[in-house]
Amino acid sequence: MSLADDPEITRLSQAMADLTRPRCGGPTCGWQGKAKFNCCEKMYCDIAEEYANMLGVKVDKPGPIDLPYMGKTGCVMPPHLRLVCTVHDCQINNVGADPKDKKFTAHYFILRDALNQRLEKVDSKSIDDTGVITDGSKSVMEADQRRK
């Protein structure tokens, strides 16, 4: 099994994406629906693409040139290949928790810990709450902090 096709990483990443995605545009969102694709930006598509390529996976780009993985009904990059987007939550990123939603915070960290344990087991990788994937002390993929 690799990071690209491990069923547990795929399952946990999908669960994390299902948890974090609805928060964009919600009550804690700084954009409040002002932007069509909220904080999706080409640079995050590029980071996801670089990671997918590193794992030997190529994903079609149905979106516009400035947001290549955004298809008509949403992002087509699978959650386990766009971890930088999947694990992103503004409250977690900014203050390390959502003080008004303890249930979300607990669920988030249960999933992230499980994801990290599996990433570590499969390929000695882990990911932090800003989307930086590390290999021990060495950063493998850096996420930008502009969403803060």
Contact residues for ligand SF4, defined by CB under 6 A = 23-24, 29-31, 38-41, 44-45, 48, 67, 69-70, 75, 77, 82, 85, 88, 90, 147
What's the CA gap between 27 and 59, in Å, rounded?
32
**DSSP letter (8 states) at residue 38:** T
What minimum distance in Å lies between the beta carbon of 67 and ligand SF4? 5
What minimum distance in Å lies between the beta carbon of 82 and ligand SF4? 4
What minimum distance in Å lies between the beta carbon of 93 and ligand SF4? 8
- Compare residues 138 and 148 and give the one whose CB is closer to ligand SF4: 148
What minimum distance in Å lies between the beta carbon of 53 and ligand SF4? 13
| Alpha-carbon dihedral sign for residues 54, 143, 5, 123 | positive
Identify which of 96, 64, 69 has the alpha carbon closest to the alpha carbon of residue 82: 69
Element (H, E) at 71: strand 70-71
What's the CA gap between 79 and 111, in Å, rounded?
13
- Compare residues 69 and 119 and give the one whose CB is closer to ligand SF4: 69
- Compare residues 78 and 125 and give the one whose CB is closer to ligand SF4: 78
- Compare residues 120 and 130 and give the one whose CB is closer to ligand SF4: 130
Q: Which two tokens stand for residue 53?
A: 């390529």
